[in-house]
A and B are shown apart, each in its own frame.
Chain A
């Protein structure tokens, strides 16, 4: 009873806690590392601000929209396979479910909160965010189709990992990597946008809302990175058992996945190819081509 139900759930909660604790570092890698690579002087990870924001969230509570975004991030942290693909809430790690939840959370956040009377630039950026979310939803459908066609009968990411362990599918991993890349191009990490009149007028409630939105954006970006990394490289998700080496391999796999994802995001940011529709469509086409060629090869 305990080993069947309680331990996996404790493992999931532990994983969620580890993610939440490590987030400022991840956020630094996502947001500031590209600038650091480009030669700018940047500050280190902001641990103090992060924990102060958590305390503020607990004291003042959130609005419905921000709570929705935070729920999306927390569901991802709970259910995504970090070290092992089998744990308490691994059944919830369905690509379409988690992806659309996170996309909706991004939209509900309103790109860190754009207030009434926002400048035209912010409005345009908001519209691009919505457009990108629409394209992202379609790409998630394509990913679901790729998984269902090449590894039939797999139940979410955990089932996909199990299927891949049993019988490797040619072409699927490359196709998934390309599709995740397309998602990364279409929906890059959230950026701060210039707020409107409301914030400048200095209403205290609006300032609080902006702080909350900034905090939730950190969590959402981390969750989005983890989802893309797990979607794109399912072969690196370990299957640890009692052996110590298998746990080491799983840790190594997680580190490699995260490193690759951060590198891809940094390269996209540095070459200014975020939201480039042409590149996204190129990667989708490449994913379909790889899947078809893998299917033809068998």
Chain B
């Protein structure tokens, strides 16, 4: 990664967070978050960064227990550039979303505020500073955070479906660090650009609805949207890592699947957002189209000319594994198509009648309870353990169904399938 020095990356990651903090409705919170993002992003002194993070976690919305905060900050100071600091700090940043929104913090965590984009930027910065020493650890940490947030969202603890997307920049940055560690420069560059794009989209989404009412659709994983570009580039960077670096096959594919799951949550989020009317004013359409085309052109030009992508085809964007997303031809086709075929009139464009998004929830959200089918398996497992303990053949072992089946030599097909799948999985993970 010769073209991106480490400092430049942290500046780029800090910019959307700074913008979001500057535009916050509540000035005091905005200034606090601005200080924090600037401190962590632009100043490389770990002591100062920890001080600023401490101030924000003390006065901000994070509700982590104080002893954990102190330990996290001390780790961040004592082990600069190590992964342990970000292991401890990341849960502090996402604590309200992990534990559940309390009534007092709900207002602070709403979409309008700059808390979510700033927390995403902070997490990405902290991961970028700490991931270089142990990239696998950082990637797994981000994956774990994403899985936890997705689980909390699906359970209904976090009502904001798009909140899980906060981890995505950190995940992409960890992937970039891993790719850099393995010597895959283009994949790392692609992942970092995707992370910056994602942060920018989250910043735009935190704007008030009056000024940009189409922003919620920008992060949707549909092809012309930046959310799709982030998904595509992230998945391809992860898969490049899986294919080209040894030992990364399983974690990188897991990463790609998590990116897909986060995209599905974005889809749910878009579907839950109510539509205002059946017509969109041309000004809104112009804003959205300008944002889309600007972001796309910036991406293409950055990869082609700033990063020196010589093998990149014309007007396309690559994730590093030899596949390219033809952004130019897609944009050209869509522009021509929409210009010709869309109905307009009276300064408005016709969005379409009808109910596209279903009312209510897609999943039936519920709190976590162990379902009865699983409980049956758990009971069977307990029985197996007891069997193994009593395999010597006292009276208790005869009562179970597992013992005789094992003694028959595993005549059932299911056992053999399980064994075969395990062996194949192990072989595939090793190769």
Chain A residues close to B by CB (< 8 Å): 57, 60-67, 70-72, 74-75, 78, 89, 91-92, 94, 96-97, 100-101, 104, 107-110, 113-116, 118, 123, 126-127, 130-131, 133-134, 137-138, 140-142, 144-145, 148-149, 152-156, 159, 196, 198, 205-206, 209, 213, 289, 291-293, 295-296
Contact = CB atoms under 8 A, between A and B. Distances in A.
Given A100-B221, A140-B260, 12 more contacts: A61-B341, A78-B333, A97-B325, A100-B228, A101-B222, A104-B221, A110-B356, A115-B355, A137-B221, A155-B324, A156-B323, A159-B322
22 contacts: A62-B341, A62-B343, A64-B349, A64-B352, A70-B337, A71-B338, A78-B333, A91-B324, A92-B326, A94-B232, A104-B223, A110-B355, A113-B353, A114-B354, A115-B353, A116-B355, A126-B358, A137-B263, A141-B257, A153-B321, A155-B324, A289-B424
B112 to A, nearest CB: 26
Nearest to A117: B355
B425 interface: yes
Contact of B337 (A67, A109, A144): A67
Interface in B229-271: 231-232, 235-236, 239-240, 242-244, 249, 253, 256-257, 259-261, 263-264, 267-268, 271
A154 B249 contact: no
Given A127-B362, A149-B242, A292-B425, A67 B341 contact: yes
* Binding site secondary structure of chain A: helix
Nearest to A88: B329
A268 B259 CA distance: 30
B383 to A, nearest CB: 26
Contact of B424 (A75, A107, A296): A296
Contact of A63 (B222, B326, B330, B343): B343
A37 to B, nearest CB: 33
B353 A100 contact: no
A63 B350 CA distance: 5
Given A159-B322, A198-B353, A295-B428, A64 B280 contact: yes
Contacts of B209: none
Contacts of A75: 330, 333
A221 to B, nearest CB: 18
A66 B352 contact: yes
Contacts of B220: 104
Contacts of B357: 130
Nearest to A136: B264
B300 to A, nearest CB: 14
B239 A100 contact: no
Nearest to B423: A296
Given A75-B333, A92-B330, A149-B242, A130 B362 contact: yes
Contact of A94 (B323, B353, B428): B323
B321 A152 contact: yes
Contacts of A148: 236, 239-240, 242-243, 321, 323
Contacts of B221: 100, 104, 137
B223 A153 contact: no
Nearest to B420: A289
B333 A71 contact: yes
Contacts of A137: 221, 260, 263-264, 267
Nearest to A150: B243
A141 B260 contact: yes
B212 interface: no
Interface residues of B, number: 65
Contacts of A198: 353-354
B103 interface: no
A190 B330 CA distance: 25
B358 A123 contact: yes
A63 B239 contact: no
Contacts of B268: 130, 134
A63 B343 CA distance: 6
B370 interface: no
B223 A70 contact: no
Interface in B336-369: 337-338, 341-344, 349-360, 362-363
A1 to B, nearest CB: 15
B304 to A, nearest CB: 15
A64 B256 contact: no
Nearest to A95: B323
B354 A113 contact: yes
Give the residue among B223, B236, B363 with the most A Cβ atoms within 10 A: B223
A161 to B, nearest CB: 14
Nearest to A291: B428
A44 B257 CA distance: 43
B264 A138 contact: yes
Contacts of B352: 63-66, 108, 209
B329 A209 contact: no
B290 to A, nearest CB: 16
Interface string B78-103: 00000000000000000000000000
